[in-house]
Structure formats: structure tokens, C-alpha cells
Amino acid sequence: MAVETQNQSAFDYEWNYSPRVSTLFGAFTSVAIVGWIVTVILTAVHFFALPAIPADAPVQGSIEVITSQWAYVFGVPLATLGGFYYLTTIGLALWWFDTRHPLIIKILTPITASGVAFSAYFVYLQVGVIGAICPFCMVSAAATVILFGLELIILSKSTTPSLSSMTGDFGRVVGAMNIPVVAFPVLVGLATLLGLFVVTVLPLPKAVPFV
């Protein structure tokens, strides 16, 4: 029997979940929050700690990783982009808790898979190219793997229609969403990342270089 959404909307298909799916989504959300916190820390390091390091100072270890040419995409720290990734997964998890609709589970699959792919490439760069490890980066990489693993387990514990059969109902699922519940935490996360950037462009005293 299908799990009903909060507004009791009827769809042309049925789905059901194992009782463990809610617990798995709780774990999924917790891991995504940890990943987001790590990206915020790394973003703060990029914006506030790195400018205080003299340009000619030798760097090694994690600093070598986060100052490498691969640590930025069009001038944006990779960690900041990671923050957007984790906020996306958090928002989708909250959306699932709000509507319980299987379309969200299917949307999460390619998103979490892409997270693993990008993380695997960056881990390869650390180990095989840069020759140094960033512990925070590795925690983030582990978080992406765990998220994908949890997503696969959720899929295995759920009986859901194909993605193509549900795509047409996307608007109805959006309409069934409690926007403040889902959007507010995501907006707070976005405001945090934006705030870190805004502080860097304010007319504040310059960072004191390390000696």
C-alpha cells in the first residue's frame, strides 16, 4: 500500500517502505550535516587563514592540498562547492521526511553517486598527484561515500516505481511540500556560506601574516 503524503494526494502508482527507511534517512541527514560542517570549516580556512600565509612561505600537508590548483573551480574553493552539495542532500532528505514520496529517493541516487565520483577524483589527486593528505577533505570524502551507501540501502528497503513514471508528478510533489520546514534549514546553511564570503570583502583590517 502506498505511503500517503501529508495532503493525501493520490498518484497513479504505489510504493512502500521498510520501517527502517525513516531511520536510514535520519542517519543520512546526520552524515550530510557533518559533511556540511566540514565544508564550512574548510571554507573559513580558505577565506581567513590562507590569506595570512606569505606567498613565498613553504607549505606542506593539508595546506598544500587546499592551496593546490585543484582546490578551486573558477576561483571558488572546492570546499564551498561541497557545502552546496551537502545542503542539496540535506534539503532533499528533509523533503522526503515532509512528503515521504519515492521520487525524492530516485533524485538522490545520481546526486549521491556524483558526490562519490568527485570525491574519489580528489582523493586520487591528494594521494597520487599532490602527495599530501587533507584530513578534513578525507572526512568529507568519507561522508559522500556513506551518503551513497545509505542511499543504496534505502533503495533496497523500498519498493518504488521507475523514475520515468514519476517525473510528471514533480510539480504535485513540490506542491505537497511544507516549504518553511524544508527551505529554512537550507537557507540558513546558504546564509552561512554567503556570510563567510561577505566578511572577506568588508573593509576590515588585513590579516596579519604568519611569521
List of domains in the chain: 17-201 (1.20.1440.130)
Query: What number of CA atoms fall less than 13 Å from residue 203's CA on the CB side?
Result: 0
Considering only residues 9 and 90, tell me which one the structure prediction assigns the higher pLDDT.
Answer: 90
Please give the pLDDT value at position 211.
54
Assess whether pLDDT exceeds 50 at residue 42. yes
pLDDT digit string, tens, across residues 47-59: 888 877 777 767 7
Assess whether pLDDT exceeds 70 at residue 3. no
Quickly state the pLDDT bin for 23 (edges 50, 70, 90): very high
Quickly state the pLDDT bin for 9 (edges 50, 70, 90): very low
Please give the pLDDT value at position 58.
72
- Of residues 24, 200, 204, the one with CA closest to residue 96: 24
Phi/psi at 158 (nearest 5 deg)? -125, 145
- Of residues 73, 9, 38, the one with CA closest to residue 147: 38
Assess whether pLDDT exceeds 80 at residue 148. yes
- Of residues 124, 126, 116, the one with CA closest to residue 66: 126
- Of residues 153, 43, 143, the one with CA closest to residue 109: 153
What is the value of pTM for the model shown? 0.86
Q: In one letter, which amino acid is 60?
A: Q
Q: In one letter, which amino acid is 115?
A: G
For residue 146, give the C-alpha cell: 556513506
Residues 40-69 have a mean pLDDT of 82
Q: How far apart are CA 45 and CA 79, in angstroms?
A: 10
Assess whether pLDDT exceeds 90 at residue 173. no
> At CA 58, angle to CA 56 and CA 63, rounded to 5?
110
Assess whether pLDDT exceeds 90 at residue 94. yes
* Average model confidence (pLDDT) across the chain: 86
Assess whether pLDDT exceeds 80 at residue 186. yes
pLDDT digit string, tens, across residues 102-124: 999 999 999 999 999 999 999 99
Q: How far apart are CA 59 and CA 14, in angstroms?
A: 57
Q: How far apart are CA 88 and CA 109, in angstroms?
A: 12
- Of residues 196, 67, 93, the one with CA closest to residue 147: 93
Phi/psi at 39 (nearest 5 deg)? -65, -35
First to last CA, the chain: 67
Q: How far apart are CA 79 and CA 36, in angstroms?
A: 9
Assess whether pLDDT exceeds 80 at residue 185. yes
